Amino acid sequence: MFIIDNYPLAVFFCIITMLCWGSWANTQKMASQQWPFQLFYWDYTLGILLITLIFAFTLGSIGDEGRSFIIDLRQAKIDNLNSAFLGGVIFNFANLLLVIAIEIAGMAIAFPIGIGIALVLGVFTNFLMHPEGDPVVLFCGVILVTLAIIIDGIAYKKTLQNTKEKPIKGILFSAAAGVAMGFFYKYVASSMTSDFVSPESGKLTPYSALVVFSLGILLSSFLFNTIIMYRPFSGEKVSFKDYFIMGTLKLHSIGILGGVIWGIGMSFNIIASEQAGPAIAYGLGQGATLVAAIWGVFIWNELKDLPKKNYWLIPSMFFLFIAGIGTIIGAKLI
């Protein structure tokens, strides 16, 4: 199977993760005018499973190193399969909360608050399991990101000060998504072997873990997303019948594309985690907050109502995110 064998390449893969994780929600924004997010989400989950299967039967089944996908699945212990699957369930719960937050508050708010919190919690939990990199430098990076989250929350509140809309709902959904999102990665990481070249018996290689993780997302959607379809927190109630009646080839394709984009990011991050370490790999990937904020501010113009006297909040937020991500990268170089 394809394996990364050096830290610089692992960082490059994590940067691709950051771009993918920060950009997939554009597909939700594109479809949201015609397509309720609950129906978009079914195609999104299918897209994630599709790309992880493609990687499993290509990159995960070539070469002489590691174990090929099918062989790896057959030898895996049930505890590790369950762990990867549980990671998918937890992620799905968190991601649906994030999708709701995007609907309510937009990408420029939901991502920095939600994924920023996930970055902080994820770095801590993954570092405790696999302590790699200088902890002082790593957590200094986390502090900088935390400050960026706080500034983003202030900016969101300022944009709503002349309206009747209350910021608390969007912030609460974003924060809840972040708390849940901070814990899914450790279950996927714990299901995998620490040595991809000579994998441990009973453990999963990254490609197998990704497929089981994706199945956890898809299958748990029949619980989580079904509830949101019939008891929505935002928007109108929809049914499974609407998925087939309202959906067009274009709308289904946009949803699948969103899942493929996110799935590429997740796959590259997991593949890079052996060389980078789970804490750094996850922390860099969740630099998606910066990418999503750029989309939200400059493309979707989500902070257009921010008073001019508070414009300084936007560059301050970006500066702190960039400084935090750079510090996290440096944690393993020092």
pLDDT of residue 305: 78
CA separation for the pair 306, 288 (Å, rounded): 22
pLDDT of residue 45: 97
Question: Which residues, other chains included, contact 138 with Cβ-Cβ below 8 Å and sequence gap of 6+?
Answer: 123, 127, 279, 280, 283, 327, 328, 331
pLDDT tens, residue order, the chain (334 aa): 899 988 889 989 998 998 998 898 889 888 887 889 899 999 999 999 999 999 999 999 998 888 999 999 999 999 999 999 999 999 999 999 988 888 887 777 777 788 778 878 888 888 888 787 888 998 898 889 888 878 877 887 788 776 666 667 778 888 899 898 888 988 999 999 988 999 999 999 999 999 999 999 999 999 999 999 999 887 789 999 999 999 899 999 999 999 999 999 999 999 998 888 887 887 777 777 778 778 888 877 777 778 888 889 989 988 998 898 889 878 877 6
pLDDT of residue 187: 94
The half-sphere exposure of 84 on its side-chain side, counting CA atoms within 13 A, is 24
35 with 257: CB under 8 angstroms?
no
CA separation for the pair 197, 195 (Å, rounded): 6
Q: Which of 147, 123, 145 is nearest to 134 (CA)?
A: 123
What pTM was estimated for this model as a whole? 0.84
